[in-house]
Structure 1
Amino acid sequence: MKEHKLSIIIVEDHSIVVEGLSSILRNEERMNLKGSFSNAEDALQFLASNTTDVVLLDIGLPEMPGTEVCRIIKNQYRSTKVIALTNHTEKSVIQEMLENGADGYLLKNTSKQDLVNAIFQVMNNTFIMQAELQKVLFAPAAMKESVPRLTTREKEILLLVSEGATTAVISRQLFISTQTVETHRRNLMQKFEVNNSAALIRKATEKGLL
């Protein structure tokens, strides 16, 4: 009897990450990479007509955040497992993904073997979160108020947002696409646990970052 291969898709907008993940999956005999998608719309369209066992889902997608994509997938395709792939280690982001139904949560710097193990673990409902993430998730509530760790680019965009610059203006000034600016904006809002620019500026000021 032919062994069933796990059908997997990748939803990730950074091509270098896609290439790395694809290489790992194609070398696994028990896995079948059925496609990779750089945006949520194309991925959801694929899922509508293709049975898929596992979705490797980037959180910081353009146009629609991964948290929302996860919620949609788990509501519409209950048997499909979702593993979040991200660089985010903020407690609020981890909690939101888990609340929206994520079956696993991995950092993008994870090892090849940990990724493969995670895929089989979610299929068996035995996923074990990395120790680094467990520490964040189960840390005392007081630690929630610590100052978020920002990248150099996020600091640049935060400053421009505080000066009232629009996405288009920031895009031109930093020589990056408007989609990239919006992704950074969303990441900043997730890190500061806010829903709009005004709250972002206020909280960043309170924490001494502006």
Structure 2
Amino acid sequence: MKTSSISVIIVEDHVIVAEGLNSILSRTEGIQLTGVFPGAEEALLFLEKQDTDLVLLDISLPAMSGHDFCRLVKSKYADIKVIALTNHTEKSVILEMLDSGADGYLLKNISRQELVEAIFQVIDNRFTMHPALQQIIFSPGHSRKSYPRLTTREREILQLVGTGITTHAIADQLSISTQTVDTHRRNLMQKFNVGNAAALIKKAVEAGLL
């Protein structure tokens, strides 16, 4: 995890929500709030000039959707983390956001502690999602798609990746080395042709594996 403060911006067009997030993050040790923007265009101009670690992103934005904004940020700034912060609980919306490259998906009714923990979790390269949302996207409701052939160990690791736990935790639970876990992660992402854990989870859900 980073030892310096995490640079965070907020992209949120509802003033009351933005002010609440501002109040929380401005008082949180280890986090530096560097900007609050009502729309994607202003945020993109800022990102061109200022190094940023993480974006807290509302999905429903004027002019450009959160999905498109996330996809654009990920294509231009691969190291910037994006957490969707929204009221949308529809499976299709969640999956589309994961497909856009989001590193986390949270609801706006979460607590201050949950928000702060999620930020540090994502900066530590761990996907984050509230358990209630995991139940939504992992529930039946779409046809099973074809998927690559997986080994028993890959299936085990895929299930654990879906819970959002760290590589070290997976290694401890399965009594294998972290290097072995990383190898299996890379193999899974290669087999599913994805670039991060969020996209891997999305593909696995669509294939009926989670």
TM-score by length of 2: 0.65
Give the distance between the partners of 2:63 and 2:103, measured in 1 at CA.
23
Matched to 1:47, the amino acid is L
> SS of the residue aligned with 1:109?
coil
For residues 5-30 of structure 1, give each alpha carbon's deviation from its aligned partner in whole angstroms, at most 9, with x where no partner exists: 11000000000001110111011120
For residues 113-145 of structure 1, give each alpha carbon's deviation from its aligned partner in whole angstroms, at most 9, with x where no partner exists: 0100010011111233111100111010259xx
> SS of the residue aligned with 2:49?
coil
Q: Which residue of 2 aligns with 1:185?
A: none
Point out where structure 2 has 5 or more consecutive residues left out of the alignment. Answer: 144-210
Q: Which residue of 2 aligns with 1:112?
A: 112
Give the distance between the partners of 2:50 and 2:112, measured in 1 at CA.
26
> SS of the residue aligned with 1:141?
coil
Q: Which residue of 2 aligns with 1:121?
A: 121
Q: Which residue of 1 aligns with 2:199?
A: none
Which structure has the greater CA radius of gyration?
Answer: 1
Give the distance between the partners of 1:47 and 1:142, measured in 2 at CA.
37
Point out where structure 1 has 5 or more consecutive residues left out of the alignment. Answer: 144-210
Q: Which residue of 2 aligns with 1:34?
A: 34
Give the distance between the partners of 1:9 and 1:25, measured in 2 at CA.
10
Matched to 1:29, the amino acid is E
Q: Is residue 103–residue 128 contact of structure 2 (8 Å, CA) maintained in 1?
A: no
Give the distance between the partners of 2:128 and 2:105, measured in 1 at CA.
9
* Count of aligned residue pairs for this structure pair: 141
Matched, 1:51 2:51: yes
Give the distance between the partners of 1:140 and 1:127, measured in 2 at CA.
22
Where do 4+ consecutive residues of structure 1 move more than 2 Å? Answer: none
Give the distance between the partners of 1:55 and 1:121, measured in 2 at CA.
14
Q: Which residue of 1 aligns with 2:74?
A: 74
Give the distance between the partners of 2:89 and 2:52, measured in 1 at CA.
27
Give the distance between the partners of 2:20 and 2:74, measured in 1 at CA.
26
For 1:50-199, list aligned pairs within 5 A. Answer: 50-141=50-141
Give the distance between the partners of 2:17 and 2:47, measured in 1 at CA.
21
Matched to 2:114, the amino acid is D
Q: Which residue of 1 aligns with 2:14?
A: 14
**Cα RMSD between the aligned structures?**
1.2
